[in-house]
Amino acid sequence: MAHDVFLSYSSKDKPAAFAICAALENRGIGCWIAPRDIAPGANCPASIIRAINTSKLLVLAFSENANQSPSVASEVERAFTKRVPIVPVRIGDVPVGDSLEFFLSTPQWIDACEGSLDEHLHAVVDAVGAALTRMRPAGPAAAPDVPPEPKIEKIETVVEVEKIEKVEKVEKIEMPVTGTMANSNPVNAPVDGEQRLRALRFSRLVPPGEPHRAPATGGDVVPIPARAGGLTDPPPPPPRPIAYDMSPWSERHRIQRVFSIAVLSAVVIALIGLFLILVGGSLVR
C-alpha cells in the first residue's frame, strides 16, 4: 500500500499510535504502521526496513516506553541514516534517553502530553501535512495575467498576376510555283519548310513592307509582312573584311628580300673573282 508516513511507537503505546494513524488517514495522508501493514508470513524486520526506505516522513510517538524500546531506537536510526525527516510527538513528559538524543536533538517537537491526546490530534495532523507539503517539488510558476492581445483581422488582398506569353506568329508565305514544280503543287500553294526558312532569312535584310524576289523560285515579287507591332529584326552586321598584311616587313617579303640579297652577293663575288683572274693573267704576260 502506498504511504507517506511511517509510524514508530512502542507496543505498549499502541492505542495512542493507532489514534494518530487514524487522524492522519482521515486527512488523506497514507500511513504505514506495524503490525497492521506487515503481510502474513513476511519477515517483520525486512518489512519495517522497506517501509522506512519508501516513506517521506517518520512520526515518532515518544513516551517513556518508546525511550526504552530498542526497536524504536533502531527505526529512528534507520530513518536518520536514510535522511527521512523525523517528526517526534511527545505523548509522555519524559527526558530523551541517550539512545535517541542524538537523532532527536534537531527536529521540532509536537507537545501532546498535556490533557488528552484527542485534543492535540488536530495540531499533529496539521504539522505532518505542512511537512509533507514542504517536501513536494515546487510546480511551475504561474504565468502572470496578461490581457489577451486584440485580434486584428488581416485582410488578404489577392493580386492576380496575368502572365503574358509573347508568341511570335509567322504567317505562311504563299509564293507562285513555276516550271516543273507547277505540275506537282497548285498555284499559290504554301511553300515547304526550307523555302519558308529561306524567305525568312531574306526578310531580315529587307525593310518591312518592301518587296523582294524569293530566292527559292524565281517567281513574282512577294511582299514580306512586318512583324506584330511594326518591329523588325535588326539587319545583320556587314561581313568583316579579311585583313591582309601588306607591310613590306611581312614574313614573305622578308624571305624574298634575304633571298635577293644572297643571289646578288653571289653574283658580285663571282664577278670580282673573274676580274682578279683576268688581271692576274695580263700581269703574267
For residue 209, give the DSSP letter.
Answer: T
Q: Are residues 125 and 198 in the same domain?
A: no
Residue 71, number of CB atoms within 10 A of its CB = 16
CA 54 to chain centre: 45
Q: Is 190 part of a structural domain of the chain?
A: yes
Separate counts of helices (H) and strands (E) for the chain: 9, 7
Among 21-35, 103-117, 119-133, 138-152, the minimum mean pLDDT is found in 138-152
Residue scoring higher pLDDT (267 or 165)? 267
pTM of the shown model: 0.47
Q: Can you state the angle between helices 70-81 and 44-53, rounded to 10 degrees? A: 40
* pLDDT value for 81: 93
Q: Total domain count for the chain?
A: 2
Task: Extract the C-alpha cell encoding 94.
Answer: 519524559
Q: Which of 1-15, 135-149, 158-172, 214-228 reaches the highest mean pLDDT? A: 1-15
Per DSSP, 229 falls in state G
Same-domain status, 12 and 131:
yes
pLDDT of residue 173: 45
Query: Is there a domain that residue 41 lies in?
Result: yes
How many Å apart are CA 243 and CA 239, to the nearest integer? Answer: 12
Q: The domain spanning residue 111 has which CATH number?
A: 3.40.50.10140
Is residue 60 very low, low, confident or very high in pLDDT (cuts 50, 70, 90)?
Answer: very high
- Please tell me the distance from the alpha carbon of residue 109 to that of residue 124, in angstroms, as a whole number: 10
- Would residue 186 count as lying in a domain? yes
Supply the range of the domain harboring residue 71: 5-135
Amino acid at 87: V
